[in-house]
A and B are shown apart, each in its own frame.
Chain A
Amino acid sequence: MKPFNGQVLFLDRSDINTDEIIPARYLTEISKEALKPHLLEDLSLEEFDPRADISDKRAVITRSNFGCGSSREHAPWALEVNGIHVVIAQSFARIFRQNMFNCGMLAIELPGTIIDQLFNRFAGRTAEIELDFNNGRLKVKNQEQEEIVPFVISDFDRSLVEAGGWVDFADKHY
């Protein structure tokens, strides 16, 4: 399994779309690594500078409908090559969510009230997550406080993460 622990990038907006995660002009790249410098390049969000704020981050916490728009798997890949293997949101667009699990990455949905609470308590300062995949528990912490949140993913999605993705799973089963 991929590593899921580390510093959190908070993106305080709903409906962040695939074109903002990785613009179409980079879809002509044939290697995933080439996407690395362009993650969230077109996202204009107050107090967010993609060049300064992404390095060293290992997780994203955001609002609802993250990853809407295009089917491009380049969006999860752009996260992956930057070392971000988990996105936590109130909800996801279907294709993006499936792409995350298909790549052996995690798209975790939490209730809006919990997301609000995580933003209120941790956004704007350095925060980290520790993920207990087997027990479905997520710890968000900074120097002063921590919060433990349970999460649920489907058994199927869980098996994809464990198998490291959908290709080997499907080739074995079908």
Chain B
Amino acid sequence: MCGFVREEKKEHVIMGKTIAQKIFDIHLVDRPTPDTYVLRLDAVFCHEITTPIAINDLIARGKDRVFDPKKIKAVIDHVTPAKDGNTAAQGKILRDWARRHGIDDFFDIGRNGVCHALFPEKGFVRPGFTIIMGDSHTCTHGAFGAFAAGVGTTDLEVGILKGVCAFRSPTTMKVTINGALPAGVFAKDVILSIIGRIGVNGATDKVIEFGGPAVSLMSMEERMTLCNMAVEAGATCGICAPDKTTVEYLWPFIQEEFTTPQEALEAYARFEPDADAVYDQILTHDVSNLTPQATFGFKPDNIKPVADMAGTLVDQVYIGSCTNGRIEDLRIAAQVLKGQTVHPRVRGIVSPATPKVYAQALEEGILQIFMQAGFCVTNPTCGACLGMSNGVLAEGEVCAATTNRNFNGRMGKGGMVHLMSPATAAATAVAGSIVNSGLFKG
């Protein structure tokens, strides 16, 4: 946690700062040009799709090294178990590399889960951290008050080798979410409504700082759902100020670092935005009258109230992913599904995002509810969300999904994806067509 002194010194001369600016300040290694910030990284996350090419390139360059095996975390999650020779080879490259470099936090089959659900669950994300991963939904980890950004393979490769990454200035858009969510309306509906409002290009090159009463009331899991889709508006990262909820979630992992949760809270307060922080844009979003939302086209900003899409037939319902495959999501879906049966025309698939979520869902009887309803329970994997495995669509098929992207062909060539909350997806599975869940009384 070095570098804090520097921030205190600077506070006297510089105007108020956003969360991202504060994190940039204490991680700055170099500014090769005025608008380029090279940051020291606290963690580099890796999975088997984007990392193997980086590993092979490092080998080819004679630079098969890692900057710090303790700060690198790796998982096989996109296609697991391997489905063919190529995916088996990708897993093997990552596995061999992790062993070769003593990367202890490597999660292989049996212990693996969707990266953005697994790594927070393991306590690898802390307020004030800088994190990169070769995955666009890395912005999820901003829920903890971290600056976490998706990068390409070359940035990942440099991160692995040198523990640094270059960014432009962390221009921030503040989104203040006011009001209390009505019953049956969830974090997913909130983020869909925000993307619908600002567009897929609305936050490009910006950090979205989420705040306000509705965010304060959200659990860490809901904040992860919120931050997860920040990239669908083009954002570099979604970020929430750390608070009591953050400390409660992290307590099992930080109790040796701090004597009391209060002490941790005080330490993390340095990552709250200043009252006079300078924002590029400020948006106020009231959710008191928000209704459940879903996407209708091939862009995540094609948003409509679920009620306006009622009757749209679906072939498959998918509940899972880094957006909505956590225990709270499964609990909500199970609440809707209890005692119900999946419509005979529909294939229901649920993928608990991690082994812990899977075990918890098993223990709480949630998996039984899913299975009795006729859902197929798959192992934790990203597979179906991007049409790689475990639930790929055929040409012309329609899927109601709790995932994050509805791009043309995303879950399979010629398929259509409607994004929605777990409650709406579960209700849709039973009805056979898009419908509001009974949890929503609007």
Contacts and interface: CB of A to CB of B under 8 A. Distances in A.
Interface of A: 14-15, 17, 19-20, 23-25, 27-30, 32, 42, 44, 64-65, 68-73, 76, 91, 93-95, 98-99, 102-103, 154-156, 159, 165-167, 170-171, 173-174
A69 B405 contact: yes
A68 B152 contact: no
A102 B204 CA distance: 19
Contacts of A68: 200-201, 204, 234
Contacts of B218: none
Given A20-B407, A156-B33, A15 B200 contact: yes
B161 interface: yes
Contact of A174 (B38, B150, B234, B388): B38
A24 B387 contact: yes
Contacts of A159: 32
B79 interface: yes
B134 A71 contact: yes
Interface in B129-146: 133-136, 138
B84 interface: yes
B158 A167 contact: yes
A170 B36 CA distance: 13
Given A167-B61, A174-B162, A44 B408 contact: yes
B41 to A, nearest CB: 11
Interface string B290-313: 000000000100000000000000
B109 interface: no
Given A68-B234, A94-B204, A166 B166 contact: yes
A73 B135 CA distance: 10
A91 B152 contact: no
A9 to B, nearest CB: 19
A28 B166 contact: no
Given A28-B79, A91-B204, A166-B158, 13 more contacts: A19-B408, A19-B409, A30-B52, A42-B409, A71-B152, A94-B234, A95-B151, A99-B152, A154-B33, A167-B61, A170-B161, A171-B158, A174-B162
